Chain A
């Protein structure tokens, strides 16, 4: 397993669609160094992509003058990720998507990002910065989780 000496990997990406792939690639590299299996790395990539898309679109409202921060902290058997934006966070988690309602036009076909995040990582929490200067989502993915 890689020893990062407790120092997180940090990056900042522009609030522009597509740049979530930079965060995906970086996270995948760190997870690979830690020894995560390929299927868990794919889970992590999708979760981070969705977190970054939410931060770009909703948190920073596509304002390209603002950046999305991503922090990757490797611990003994977990990788902790924080995705930070300048928005106000969320007031409540959306309900689980209902495919029947979506296909019949009774529910917005979008709005699956947070559900995917929660489904693909071991922990996910959305936190409003106590100073009121932004918010972040914190994700944890465990190295030793049984694969599906």
Chain B
């Protein structure tokens, strides 16, 4: 019943001469997403900002949110900025409720996120 989480890594311009890493997720973000989220995060450069693309994610539960928080823990240790885009209004509300927005800004779309992070 759980839909496998897939993650792809892209490098995009921030529009100001710098690069931003984008982790593009699809499927579910749940307890079975450890490798897709944290495993993928370990492979990316820690010297540039990271955007999390949730635009192809339909289901996120609290276990998946906990994995996002673990990623924020690692980013915080590395002094790395993380932001997210593509969340539905409902999950924007949920991320805000649990306080994630204190450590990761949420943007409505990729174009806004890449120039704002």
Contact = CB atoms under 8 A, between A and B. Distances in A.
Contacts, number: 75
B102 A21 contact: no
Interface residues of A, number: 32
Contacts of A110: 62-63, 66
B88 to A, nearest CB: 7
A72 B53 CA distance: 34
A11 interface: no
Interface stretch (A2-10, A112-120, A127-135, A137-145): A112-120
A53 B63 contact: yes
A42 B98 contact: no
A35 interface: no
A40 B97 CA distance: 15
B112 interface: no
Contacts of B79: none
Contacts of A103: 69, 72-73, 76, 103
B70 interface: yes
Given A21-B59, A43-B90, A49-B61, A116 B98 contact: yes
Contacts of B63: 53, 110
Given A17-B31, A46-B90, A22 B100 contact: no
B45 interface: no
B18 interface: no
Q: Lowest 4 A-B CB distances belong to which pairs?
A: A18-B1, A99-B99, A18-B2, A42-B90
Interface of A: 16-22, 39, 42-43, 46, 49-50, 53, 97-100, 102-105, 108-113, 115-116, 119, 148
26 contacts: A16-B1, A18-B2, A39-B89, A42-B88, A42-B90, A46-B61, A46-B90, A50-B62, A53-B62, A97-B99, A98-B99, A99-B69, A99-B98, A99-B100, A100-B102, A102-B69, A102-B73, A104-B73, A108-B66, A109-B66, A109-B67, A109-B73, A110-B63, A112-B98, A113-B61, A115-B98
